[in-house]
Every structure is written in C-alpha cells, then in structure tokens.
Amino acid sequence: MMKHFFTFLLLLYVPLVVFSQETELVKPKKVLSTKSRGTLPALIRGPYLQVATTNSMVIRWRTDALSRSRVRYGATAENLNLTADDTKLKTEHIIKLTGLMPNTKYYYSIGSLQDTLQRGADNFFVTLPPAGEEGKYKIGIFGDCGQNSVLHRSVRDQFIKYLGNNTLTSWMLLGDNAYPDGEDAQYQTNFFNIHKDNLLKKYPLFPVPGNHDYHDIEFTNAVAQRTHEISYYSNFSMPTEGESGGVASNNQAYYSYDVGNIHFLALDSYGMEENKYRLSDTLGPQVQWIKKDLAANKNKGWVVAYWHHPPYTMGSHNSDTETELVKIRENFIQILERAGVDLIICGHSHNYERSRMMMGHYGMEPTFNAAKYNLSQSSGKYDGSNNSGPYLKDDKNDKGIVYVMTGSVASVGRMKPSFPHDAMPFANSTIGGSAILEVEGNRLDFKWICADGVIRDQFTMMKNVNKKTKIKAKRGEPLTMQASFPGKNYKWSAGTEKTRSIQIVPTAGTKTYTVTDEFNNLKDTFEVKAVR
C-alpha cells in the first residue's frame, strides 16, 4: 500500500518539475533596463529639433537604456531656469517646450530628472517668426543625403562654412534620407551621426520621404507605401495639426508651415493614401488638402513646395520614362501653377538641374519649347552678367515657377544621354552640393553650394518692384524715399548715396527722382509734387 502511495506522489511531482522547467525556458528576458545607480544612460542619437512654431519646439533624443526625460532651457546657456519633463521611462525621448516667445533664442540641455546628457553653448534654438512677418531668413536644403560618404561630409562642411555666424532659420530634407533601405540603423550611420554635432542640435528640421525611405526588407516597397510602417515616421515628428502654420493635414506624410512671410508645403510623392492615391492622383486626400492649404495662404509673400520625385530631370533618373515622374508632371504641377506657387524643389536624381521661370509644360522633353514655356529668358543669376536680371512677379501677375532638382548631397553622377533636361539648362553632374534659400522681404535668393565651397548656380526672384509712385509733400520739409527692392549699391538720381533710402527736401513744383539697382535691372520712379 505504501509503495503505491509513493508511486502516486512521484507521478504528481514529475509533471510539476517539467512544467517549471518549461516555464523557465520561455520566461521573457528584459532587453532594456535603467542602468545601475550612478551610471548614466548613453546618448546615442540627437538632440534634434522638430515641429518648430512661433511659441513651441519639440526636442528629441535617444538613449541606450530606459530613463526619464528632462529638458532644461532658458535665455542664456548659464541660466537654464525652466524645465519640461516626461516621467515615463523611455529610450526614445520627445519633449515639447511651450509658452515660448516668437523669433527668440533659447539655450537648452537634455537628460534625465537628476542628470544631464548634453549641455553647452551650441545647444540652442530660435523659435519661428510670426507668420507673415518680413525679415531675413535662411533655409537649408539637403537632397538625397542618406549615404555615409566623404561627399556628404564635404557638402555639410561647406554649407556650415558658408553659413558662418548666421543663424539658419530651418532646414529641409528632400527624401532618400537613409540608403539603401530606410532602416533605422541606416538613419543612424548615414544621417544622424553625420549631423549630430552641428545642424541637428541648433536648427529645426522639416523632412519629406523618398522612395528609399519606403523600402521594406521583410515585405515589399508596395506594402510600405500602403502601410507607412517605416522608420522615417518613427524617427521624425511633423506639424500635422497646423501648429506651424497652414491648414492641418492630420497626416505625417504631408504638411505645411510658415517661416515668416514664406509658406512651405512638404509633400509625399511616393507613399499611398487610402491604399491607392499618390501625389499624382488629384482626387486623393493629399491633393485635396493641398488645394485647401493653398487657398487659405494666398496672403503669404512666397510659396515654396518640395517633395522627392521631380517633374523634369535627365540626371540619374529620366522624367520621360519613370511613371510617377510623368504623372506628377502631367496631372499635378498645373494645380500649383494656378495657385501662384513660386518655387518647386525636388531631389531623386543625383545631380543638379534648374529651370528658368516657366509655366505650362506637361509633355515629354522633346516637346519643350523655351520660347513658349519660359516666362523669362533671363538666367536669373542677378550677378551683372549678360541677361541675368531677377525673375519678377507682382500682385497682378503671379504666374510662373522656378523648378530646382538638387539631389547630390551624398552621391553624384550617372546622367542620361540628353542631360540636362531641356527645361532645366542650369545643371551640373560632376560635383555634389546642398542649397540655401535666403529671403528678405520681397526678395528671394537661391544658391547651390558645392562640396568645394563654390556657388555654381544661383537665382533671384522679386515681387512688386519697378514701382512708379506719386507723392505730395510739403515744401521745405524732409521727405524719405525708399527703393522697393532689397539690395546694395543703389544709384539715386539725387545725390551720391548708395543706401536703400534717402532723404530730400522738396522745393517748388514737381520733380522726378529715380533709383536703380547696381546692375541697372530695376528702377523705381518717384514723382514728388511740392505743396505749401
């Protein structure tokens, strides 16, 4: 009897032991944890600035272990008297600072509630200026920068050298931000590591995706285009609620924002919406939002749109044979033309191509006729060379767009036999570069800054210049006259001043004064009638 009892107990015990062993084998292990007391988590990405507005800024960074988040900030690097916290344990830290003043410089540090990961004189940002406010703004442009190449670093260094002690208001990415597959590790080595000590920590970034950002190595590109489950959307924050200006898109793939008197549209030319609509599908949600946004922002001084796939290129890609490029040209760009957009910037080809101010060409390259489609035959370089006056627009005639394709930050070459595209005569396929927009009031300058520091292309656009003004002024009282165009070395018919404005004292009768720019491309006329 006792023997049977022990046998019964043994039969009960063995399954329990086996179950316990199996449970131990599948017990999940912690992959990440806070480090031991007194040891800081390491900073492995950032900080970088996102979703800039006139009164807020998002600061992001990544650590190698879980920790809480704190940003200390203030008006000087020595007095970071304000804080913003997130008490949840995270490795991906996203802190939004609110209640800031417009167009104001703040210094900051990042870390946990008790420790600091990074702090210094180079940790600063400037909030965006109020929408519509004129000023002097600089916006950086990096196209197809997602390779860890010597060229990428040279382009970066020359851009920073050109910038000097000036502040960059913001900068943009034109897509293909991480080669070859847009994976998180590729973002780290090919983008974040390259810019972590300079542009990322100081200047807010507004990116768009390219086709390489939409790769999915486990499924297919087509799946990624529909699901948007790619590292790009995890790594960047976008102003989707209209907080940076424009109409809320409520979609990370596309959005708009204002930098003073410049309105930007950041668009997605490769992903799909509702599993079928792309940028070239004019009935899709993205294009319907674009129409609403443009209609609501007609009062802006400048309108700039940017995305990845160019409507015109014969560089490393062919806009006559690649379906999406053809459809964008045939179906989409005329919407922007009708709305008075001033500038379109794209990447994709690893070269540089740029048009004159043009309108109305939606066909293949052989059908382009410069006399028909160019609204100006000037180079637009505004440098004193032959036929180089600025491109001009005004309130009564706001038609015409300059198209730029700049995708050679990290790689260059491999152009098509007919390079450059007939519509894009200002071109280069031998050296890489980035670009910068410089806007002062009614003047917009674009410069292509190459890897050797040489500016190999540039153009200028102006609005509402060459004015004729009639003035009634009291005789004997000082009167100030100002040229309608920003510039230097002005030439006034009265006196030898070279400044933008001069002061005169009207005498009897009516007298005409003129002012021209240094290259005699622009001229304002003032008819001053002296009255008692």
361-396 tens-digit pLDDT: 999 999 999 999 999 999 999 999 999 999 999 988
3-state secondary structure 159-223: HHHHHCCCCCCEEEECCCCCCCCCCHHHHHHHHHHHHCCCHHHHCCEEECCCCHHHCCCCCCHHH
**Is the model's pLDDT at 29 over the cut of 60?**
no
Q: How far apart are CA 343 and CA 340, in angstroms?
A: 9
Would you list the domain boundaries of the chain?
43-126, 136-463, 468-531
Q: Which band of pLDDT confidence, cut at 50, 70 and 90, is reported for residue 437?
A: very high
Q: Which band of pLDDT confidence, cut at 50, 70 and 90, is reported for residue 40?
A: confident
For residue 420, is the peptide bond before it cis, meaning its omega torsion is within 30 degrees of 0? yes
- Model pLDDT for residues 457-466, shown as the tens digit of each residue: 999 999 999 9
**Is the model's pLDDT at 312 over the cut of 90?**
yes
Closest CA to 15 of 23, 26, 27, 4: 23
**Is the model's pLDDT at 73 over the cut of 90?**
yes
Q: How far apart are CA 25 and CA 18, in angstroms?
A: 11
Q: How far apart are CA 327 and CA 279, in angstroms?
A: 9
What's the CATH number for 468-531? 2.60.40.10
**Is the model's pLDDT at 495 over the cut of 90?**
no
Residue with tokens 């180089």: 388
- Model pLDDT for residues 322-371, shown as the tens digit of each residue: 999 999 999 999 999 999 999 999 999 999 999 999 999 999 999 999 99
**Distances from the Cα of 97 to the Cα of 59, 112, 418, angstroms:** 8, 16, 50
Q: What is the pTM of this model?
A: 0.92
Mean of pLDDT values over 110-127 = 96
Mean of pLDDT values over 163-184 = 97
Residue with tokens 């810019």: 195
pLDDT value at position 38? Answer: 59
Mean of pLDDT values over 249-271 = 98
Mean of pLDDT values over 146-162 = 98
- Across the chain, what does the average pLDDT equal? 92
What's the CATH number for 136-463? 3.60.21.10
Q: How far apart are CA 419 and CA 353, in angstroms?
A: 9
Q: How far apart are CA 155 and CA 145, in angstroms?
A: 10
DSSP 8-state secondary structure symbol assigned to residue 166: S
Q: Which band of pLDDT confidence, cut at 50, 70 and 90, is reported for residue 27?
A: very low
Higher pLDDT, 154 or 413: 154
Q: Which band of pLDDT confidence, cut at 50, 70 and 90, is reported for residue 218?
A: confident
Do 43-126 and 468-531 have matching folds? Answer: yes
Q: How far apart are CA 347 and CA 279, in angstroms?
A: 15
**Is the model's pLDDT at 1 over the cut of 70?**
no
CATH class of this structure's domain 43-126:
mainly beta
User: What are the tokens at 439?
Assistant: 């806007």
**Is the model's pLDDT at 153 over the cut of 90?**
yes
User: What are the tokens at 183?
Assistant: 């994976």
- Backbone dihedral angles phi then psi of residue 488, each to the nearest 5 degrees: -155, 165
pLDDT value at position 532? Answer: 82
**Is the model's pLDDT at 98 over the cut of 80?**
yes
